[in-house]
Amino acid sequence: MSKRIDNDCGAAPPVDLAFKCINTMEDVLQEDPREGLKPLKRAKNGTLISQALRLNNNTLTDLHGFREIAEKLLSEPSQLCWIDLSFNYLPNIDPVLTTYRHLSALNLHGNSISNLSEVDKLTALPNLKSLTLHGNPIETERGYRSYILSLLPNLKSLDFSAVTKQDRVTAETWRRMNLKSKRVKKE
């Protein structure tokens, strides 16, 4: 995965705050990021130079304060292009994530998202190419993959699996059938 991050998000390593027992966004500032193979660089103001943030395998239940923490932590938070929030306890997709217009990869697998319509929020992300949601209760809903691909036609990868031409055909068929059934119900 680090190769993909380097290609899509510049050469700077991710700010790695995984496995830190972080309960709230305020806890983030109490932790030191893990040092990887490439050391993190700091801007003159002390913020970290990176476009990727790893907050996976913590105990987050919401993202209250995410924007403020990103601004204190990162030199250019608006340039975030990869966020890993996998294996937390997030019950929904927080709208704050949709404010990061450069976001191309979002990992939300292994959370507690139970309403498939939560994915609708991600249509606001024009550059989103990779999304993971498996391991959430929504994965068991009928039409899960087709629903997501019909909403997010620019995805190249869903749940670590490449989106194929057949996936796109199936998603388009699914979309047409479901739009038709909604029209019939209204009449």
Looking up residue 100, the CATH number of its domain turns out to be 3.80.10.10
What is the DSSP track for the chain?
A: -HHHHHHHH-SSPPEE-TTS---SHHHHTTSPPBP-SSPPEE-TTS-EE-SEEE--SS--S--TTHHHHHHHHBS-GGG--EEE--SS---S--GGGGG-TT--EEE-TTS----GGGGGGGGG-TT--EEE-TTSGGGGSTTHHHHHHHH-TT-SEETTEEPPHHHHHHHHHHHHHHHHHHHHHH-
- Say whether pLDDT at 163 is over 50: yes
Give the domain range for residue 129. Answer: 2-186
In angstroms, the CA 47 to CA 115 distance is 36
Phi, psi dihedral angles at 162 (to 5 degrees): -60, 145
* pLDDT at res. 149: 96
Q: Reply yes or no on whether the pLDDT at 181 is more than 70.
A: no
Is residue 56 within 8 Å of residue 84, measured between CB atoms? yes
Query: Given this model, what pLDDT does residue 36 score?
Result: 84
What are the tokens at 75? 């030199």
Of the listed ranges 27-36, 161-170, 177-186, the least confidently predicted one is 177-186
d(C-alpha 116, C-alpha 118), whole Å: 5
pLDDT of residue 95: 97
The residues pairing with 106 across neighbouring beta strands, listed in sequence order, are 83, 131
Beta bridge partners of 162: 157
Q: What is the pLDDT of residues 11-55, one digit of tens each?
A: 789 999 999 999 999 999 999 999 888 889 999 999 999 999 999
pLDDT of residue 34: 92
pLDDT of 178 reads 84
Total domains in the chain come to: 1
Distance in angstroms (rounded) separating the CA atoms of residues 26 and 29: 6
pTM of the model: 0.90
With 60 as the cut, is the pLDDT of residue 104 above it?
A: yes
